[in-house]
């Protein structure tokens, strides 16, 4: 089999002195979404590093591919990454795959990629399926600029900070969530941004039971309060729009401050967020908050 990666030879044994780390996007669900290039790479590399070896084994069996399968996930110790880097330095190409979609996007693959780059190893993306792109493309919500927040922390000040950022962000938001935490996420987003913010929940993307449900955050929360969601979810939330639009309409600035007050944020935090979002001075934003409070 010809080597995939371009690299040097040691001049004696002919063994390559380093190889290539391929970052391979795999299907979200529908196997027909696997690219021909990804299939070729997975058939030819000697080693595949997989977030979930059981899922990867099914895909490799479907391709009649027989690489050595190595587990690499969020709980792997530093020694696993070191061992994979050593394989690459010894001349063995490695393909990195996640559970589904594009590796290193909201998964532990970024650590291995960084280690490979620091070691001077070539990193080659093999592009393909992405839940972010799939959900955005089918949402009907502007995707020219968006903020990807991945999985929010389950609780604590960092979750609160990101929810405040979501409330004032002018761009579309994209988030991931597990089904059993979807309702809480929708409720928290509604409390932070206001019940009327438009959103869409994509569930079981590219699979048999794929579903997109649109509505306001309040409507979506009400639906999932009565219906148990199944499958991983991608949530797309409409942004507030350009700063100039909010600044031109004092009623929108007032509504933003009111929504944040109702959500229980401190006056200082609200004044800062309203000022950043609307173009008001800090003093003007604080006066507005005090008036409403």
- For 135-148, how does the pLDDT look when each residue is reduced to its tens digit (9 = 90+)? 999 999 999 999 99
Residue at 41 is within a domain? yes
DSSP string over 249-268:
-HHHHHHHHHHHHHTT--HH
CB under 8 Å, gap of 24 or more: what pairs does 258-267 form? 258/292, 259/167, 259/192, 259/193, 259/194, 260/164, 260/167, 260/192, 261/289, 261/292, 261/293, 262/191, 263/167, 263/191, 263/192, 264/191, 265/164, 267/293
Q: Which residues pair with 3 in a beta bridge?
A: none
* Average pLDDT score, the chain: 88
The band of 4, judged by pLDDT with boundaries at 50, 70 and 90, is: low
Q: Are residues 37 and 89 in the same domain?
A: yes
| 54 inside domain | yes
Both 136 and 120 in one domain: the answer is no
pLDDT in tens, 145-172: 999 999 999 999 999 999 988 888 889 9
How many domains does the chain divide into?
3
| pLDDT for position 291 | 85
Q: Do 122 and 52 belong to one domain?
A: yes
Phi and psi (nearest 5°) for 103?
Answer: -65, 160
Task: Using the predicted structure, report yes or no on whether residue 250 has a pLDDT greater than 80.
Answer: no
pLDDT of residue 239: 92
Q: Is the pTM of this model over 0.75?
A: yes
- Cβ pair 56, 97 in contact under 8 A: yes
Q: What is the pLDDT of residues 190-212, one digit of tens each?
A: 999 888 899 999 999 999 999 99
Find the range with the poorest average confidence among 91-95, 140-144, 285-289: 285-289
Q: At 74, is the pLDDT very low, low, confident or very high (cuts 50, 70, 90)?
A: confident
Sheet of 211-216: strand order equals 146-151, 172-177, 233-237, 198-203, 211-216
Asked whether residue 260 carries a pLDDT value surpassing 60, the answer given is yes
Domain residues for the domain of 65 are 20-129
Separation between Cα atoms, residue 26 and residue 97, nearest integer Å:
7
Structure tokens at 21: 């780390």
Residue of 285, 230, 221, 224 lying closest to 258 (CA atoms): 285
Q: Which two tokens stand for residue 24?
A: 């391979």
- Are 70 and 95 contained in the same domain? yes
pLDDT higher than threshold 90 for residue 275: no
CB 47 within 8 A of CB 95: yes
Last-in-domain residue among 74, 106, 129: 129
- The CATH number covering residue 201 comes to 3.30.950.10
- Is residue 3's pLDDT more than 60? no
Q: CA distances (Å), 166 to each of 60, 106, 239, 271, in order?
A: 39, 18, 8, 15
Q: What is the CATH number of the domain that holds 60?
A: 3.40.1010.10
Phi, psi of 15 (to 5 degrees): -70, 140
pLDDT, tens only, 30-56: 999 999 999 999 999 999 999 999 999
Asked whether residue 93 is domain-assigned, the answer is yes
Indicate whether 195 and 255 sit together in one domain: no
Which of 78, 108, 129 finishes a domain?
129
Examine the pLDDT at 126 and tell me if it is beyond 50: yes
Domain assignment present for 14? no
Exposure b/e, 33-52, CB count within 10 A at least 16 = b: bbbeebbebbebbbbbbbbe
Residue 175 φ then ψ, to 5°: -135, 155
Question: Does 213 share its domain with 250?
Answer: no
270 within some domain = yes
Task: Say if 212 falls within a structural domain.
Answer: yes
Domain boundary among 129, 161, 194: 129
Which is it for the CA torsion 147, 55, 117, 123, positive or negative? negative
Is position 56 within any domain?
Answer: yes
Distance between CA 85 and CA 116 in Å, rounded?
Answer: 6
Residue 17 confidence (pLDDT):
52
């Amino acid at each position: 089999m010809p080597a995939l990666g371009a690299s040097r030879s040691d001049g004696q044994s002919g063994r390559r002195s380093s190889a290539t780390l391929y970052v391979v996007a795999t299907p979200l669900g529908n196997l027909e979404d696997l690219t021909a290039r990804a299939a070729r790479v997975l058939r030819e590399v000697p080693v595949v590093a997989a977030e979930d070896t059981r899922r990867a084994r099914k895909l490799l069996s479907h391709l009649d591919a027989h690489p050595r399968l190595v587990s690499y996930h969020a709980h792997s110790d530093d020694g696993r990454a070191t061992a994979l880097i050593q394989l690459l330095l010894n001349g063995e190409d490695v393909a990195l795959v996640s559970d589904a979609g594009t590796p290193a996007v909201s998964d532990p693959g970024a650590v291995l990629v960084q280690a490979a780059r620091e070691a001077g190893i070539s990193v080659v993306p093999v592009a393909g399926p992405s839940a972010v792109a799939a959900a955005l493309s089918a949402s009907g919500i502007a995707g020219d600029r968006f903020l990807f927040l991945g999985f929010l922390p389950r609780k604590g000040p960092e979750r609160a900070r990101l929810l405040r950022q979501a409330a004032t962000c002018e761009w579309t938001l994209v988030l991931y969530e597990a089904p059993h935490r979807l309702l809480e996420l929708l409720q928290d987003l509604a409390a932070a941004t206001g019940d009327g913010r438009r959103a869409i929940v994509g569930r079981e993307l590219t699979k048999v039971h794929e579903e997109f449900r649109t509505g306001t955050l309040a409507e979506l929360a009400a639906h999932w309060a009565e219906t148990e969601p199944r499958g991983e979810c991608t949530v797309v939330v409409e942004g507030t729009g350009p700063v100039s639009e909010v600044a031109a309409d004092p009623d929108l600035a007032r509504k933003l401050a009111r929504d944040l007050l109702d959500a229980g944020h401190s006056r200082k935090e609200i004044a800062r967020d309203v000022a950043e979002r609307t173009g008001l001075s800090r003093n003007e934003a604080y006066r507005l908050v005090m008036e409403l409070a």
